[in-house]
Amino acid sequence: MTRTDSPPTWDERTQLTTFLDYSRATALAKCDGLAQEDARRAPLPGSPLMTIAGVVNHLRWVEYYWFEVVFLGGEDEGPWTDEDPDREMRIAVDMPLADVLTEYEQQSARYRELVAAHDLDTLAERERVEGRRPALRWIVLHLIEEISRHNGHIDIIREIVDGTTGD
């Protein structure tokens, strides 16, 4: 995936999908050269689930939830439970980082096709936002915000665990 925030054209769809892909690619780029043991480290004392592997796995499952469950109306087969609502972050430390990254990349490709196949005004199958069904446009905007916010978390964790900084 090419990492650029400059869309090839200035229509709304291209701008939104370019920023979504840029946010995804940034999360992956921040993992370049990261050692497996550092991907599992939770260096923030008040946030024991904040590992790089956990955050990336969270991003994967957040996209799954919004696209598969809310937009398409599928059954929620995510790893979370009522007893462990953050399980996607917890289980990532037992997975090879390469698998977490590959699963996220493969899923992103699938959702890229899903977004391309639907009008941005298409309403989700399920109610989610204030008892209303969000449009695909809102879901894409929300995911840009969510991924970008978590990219900041990855930045902080990465600098703490191995000193790497970058854009």
Indicate the domain borders of the chain: 12-162
Give the separation between CA 167 and CA 126, rounded to whole angstroms: 36
Query: Can you list the residues of the chain whose pLDDT is less than 70?
Result: 1-2
pLDDT at 116: 98
The pLDDT score that the predictor gives to residue 64 is: 98
pLDDT value at position 9? 85
CATH entry 1.10.3720.10 includes domain 12-162: no
Single-letter amino acid code for the residue at 167: D
Cα–Cα distances in angstroms (integers) from residue 133 to residues 30, 83, 125, 127, 128, in the given order: 33, 27, 7, 4, 6
**pLDDT (tens digit, 9 = 90+) per residue, 80-123?**
999 999 999 999 999 999 999 999 999 999 999 999 999 999 99
Using CB atoms within 10 A of its CB, is residue 60 exposed (0-12), middle (13-18) or buried (19+)? Answer: buried
Closest CA to 63 of 31, 102, 111, 15: 111
d(CA 32, CA 54): 16
